[in-house]
Structure 1
Amino acid sequence: MSEANTSPERQGLTPRQARHVRIALSAAIMIAVAVTLVLRLGSTHSVLTLGFYGIALILSGSALVLSRVGRTRVASAVLGVGVAVAIVAEWAIAALR
């Protein structure tokens, strides 16, 4: 029996699977942000709304590219911060009105 057969199985995703998951997640969030942007622009014509959702789209695209090159943890942080900033900024603008 060799040593390779006696080691415990690795838990979690492989690096390739993690990249694919982050790429799919980034793409899904990018599509959701784009749809939300179109819906929000239909109800209000605010340059701030366009800016915040534009930034979220850019950060989603950046997370997608980072995931493709293997920087999945950085991509997750960029994606989370980008979406959080867009949501909080939109909420803050709505609260000021």
Structure 2
Amino acid sequence: MPVRSPLRSGVMSTSDQDRDQQQDHEAGESPAEISGAAAQEQRLTPRQARRLRIFLSSAGMAATAVVLALRIASRSSVLVVGVYGLALILCGVVIELSRNGRTRLGSWLLGAGLVAAVGADWLLIP
């Protein structure tokens, strides 16, 4: 079985990481500086970003369902069902977009859609 280089595979063993930290320490950088630089370089992986968007969309869907139930209890209107029904559909669309890797589009759509739903509730529903 061929040996993979840490540079090509993107995964470093603990001995490689220890060696890099030792080289950085010998170069005069403190561990706090090294960890601060590493924290700045850490970003969400695409998989983590997709899971975060799916979680946020699911939470938005649950919150919208609760608000829909409260609004229907206070006044039953077709407009209430329409506005919040569209918001629920939007959350489902964003979940599907996130599952298919379109996380930025899903984020913008979720933000704009929920703002539009709250705005429509405020403007249209008495």
TM-score scaled to structure 1, two decimals? 0.86
Q: Among residues 58, 65, 79, which one is paired with 1:27 in the alignment? A: 58
SS of equivalent to 2:104? helix
Structure 1: which 5+ runs fail to align? none
Q: Which runs of 5+ in 2 are unaligned?
A: 8-15, 21-36
Q: Is 2:100 aligned against 1:69?
A: yes
Deviation at 1:73, TM superposition (A): 0.3
Q: How many residues align?
A: 93
In the alignment, which of 83, 88, 91 is matched to residue 122 of structure 2? Answer: 91
Query: After the TM superposition, which parts of structure 1 deviate over 6 Å for at least 4 consecutive aligned residues?
Result: none
The Cα shift of 1:46 comes to: 1.3
Higher relative contact order, structure no. (Cα contacts within 8 Å, ≥ 6 residues apart): 1
Q: CA deviation at 1:3?
A: 8.6
Once the two structures are TM-superposed, the CA of residue 11 in structure 1 deviates from its matched residue by: 2.6
* 1:17 corresponds to: 48
> Under a length normalisation based on structure 2, what TM-score does the superposition of the two structures give?
0.67
What is the match of residue 74 of structure 2? 43
Q: Distance in 2 between matches of 1:51 and 1:12?
A: 38
Q: In structure 2, give the amino acid aligned to 1:19.
A: R
Identity %: 51
**How many angstroms does 1:81 deviate by?**
1.3
Measure the CA separation in 1 of the matches of 2:101 and 2:69: 31
Q: Could you say which structure has the larger radius of gyration?
A: 2
RMSD: 2.0
Q: Equivalent residue for 2:89?
A: 58
Q: Tell me how far apart the structure 2 counterparts of residues 23 and 64 of structure 1 sit (CA, whole Å).
A: 5
